[in-house]
Amino acid sequence: MRGIAGLFFLLSMPLPAGCGSKGEVAFASGAFEAVEILVSAEAGGRIMALAVEEGEVLVAGQEVGHLDCRPLRPDNVDLQLKRCRITAPSAGTVLVKYAQAGEITSPGKPLFKMADTSVMTLRAYVTSDQLSAVKLGDAVPVTADFDAGGTRSYQGKIVWISTKSEFTPKTIQTRDERANLVYAMKVAVPNDGYLKIGMYGTIAAPSHE
């Protein structure tokens, strides 16, 4: 988390007046997401061990299981045995577990899904009229909506703005309800443990003082 802090800083703070008010449309809105990875074995066979549970945090390269597969050729034995091991390709949290020890699997068949949720991405949408108000690197106040649980405030950073417009997603509300085309952008938000994939969020307009 210290490395992340060099790029973004996380704090709880009140948003500019009106940003979180009911009935008001924020500068932009969208849903939180993370890069999800499907982890599979390189070989096929019976799963002898798969020591992962949903919600568990893994480190890159961590061995979490292995298959009951034996070398078919006398050469490259180490490589063949390596293909029987199940490892985490990157650091992250296990989201869904698809298989259990004792089951038969095949090469490429998903065993579990994971994602690095330490920094979440809010994919928000702006109209063409709003594009001039945002640029890469802008710090923006972010509000996460917890429905009945209220809201939490964060500080995010715009890390990507699409160069192509797209039709407004049905679940997205914009300042100009007549706008048919919008531009997607990504706001990186350090996660304090409360942000979840699919959660609704809004951003306030960046300040260019």
If asked whether residues 107 and 47 sit together in one domain, one would say yes
**Is 21 domain-assigned?**
yes
Tell me which residue range forms the domain holding 48.
36-115
| Strand 151-161 versus strand 139-145 pairing type | antiparallel
pTM across the whole model: 0.79
Nearest to 139 by CA among 124, 158, 126, 159: 158
- Per residue in 130-165, pLDDT (tens digit) is 999 999 999 999 999 998 779 999 999 999 999 999
If asked whether residues 176 and 159 sit together in one domain, one would say yes
Q: How far apart are CA 166 and CA 184, in angstroms?
A: 8
Q: Quick one: pLDDT at residue 186? A: 98
Count of domains observed in the chain: 2
With 0-12 / 13-18 / 19 or more C-beta atoms within 10 angstroms meaning exposed / middle / buried, residue 154 is buried
Q: How far apart are CA 107 and CA 2, in angstroms?
A: 37
Q: Has residue 70 got a pLDDT over 60?
A: yes
Residue position matching structure tokens 């949903």: 54
**Is 208 domain-assigned?**
no
**Is 43 domain-assigned?**
yes
pLDDT (average), residues 66-77: 83
**Is 86 domain-assigned?**
yes
If asked whether residues 41 and 142 sit together in one domain, one would say no
- Per residue in 105-116, pLDDT (tens digit) is 999 999 999 999
Look at residues 86, 115, 144 and tell me which one is the last residue of a structural domain.
Answer: 115
Residue 101 pLDDT grade (very low, low, confident, very high; cuts 50, 70, 90):
very high
If asked whether residues 126 and 197 sit together in one domain, one would say yes
Q: Quick one: pLDDT at residue 109? A: 97
In sequence order, what are the residues at sequence separation of 6 or more whose Cβ sits closer than 8 angstroms to the Cβ of residue 15?
141, 143, 153, 204
Look at residues 98, 115, 132 and tell me which one is the last residue of a structural domain.
Answer: 115
